[in-house]
């Protein structure tokens, strides 16, 4: 069922996002515009 903002549905939701940053030397040859950011520590994650 597609999400439509004009018809919100009650309930709990989990939202996800991709964080990117400028690529480092390892990623640059593969993808020159962005590299994913990986949050590893609990204090890096906002809930």
Interatomic CA distance for residues 13 and 22, integer angstroms: 30
Q: What is the mean pLDDT of residues 33-45?
A: 87
pLDDT digits (tens, 9 = 90+) for 7-28: 777 888 877 788 899 999 999 9
Q: Where are the domains of the chain?
A: 14-47
Residue bearing the bigger pLDDT, 4 or 37: 37
pLDDT confidence of residue 21: 93
| Mean pLDDT of the residues in the chain | 83
Lowest-confidence region among 3-7, 14-18, 36-40, 43-47: 3-7
């Amino acid at each position: 069922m597609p999400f439509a903002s004009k018809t919100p549905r009650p309930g709990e939701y989990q939202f996800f996002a991709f964080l990117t940053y400028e690529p480092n030397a390892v990623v640059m040859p593969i993808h020159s515009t962005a590299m994913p950011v990986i949050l590893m520590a609990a204090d890096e994650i906002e809930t």
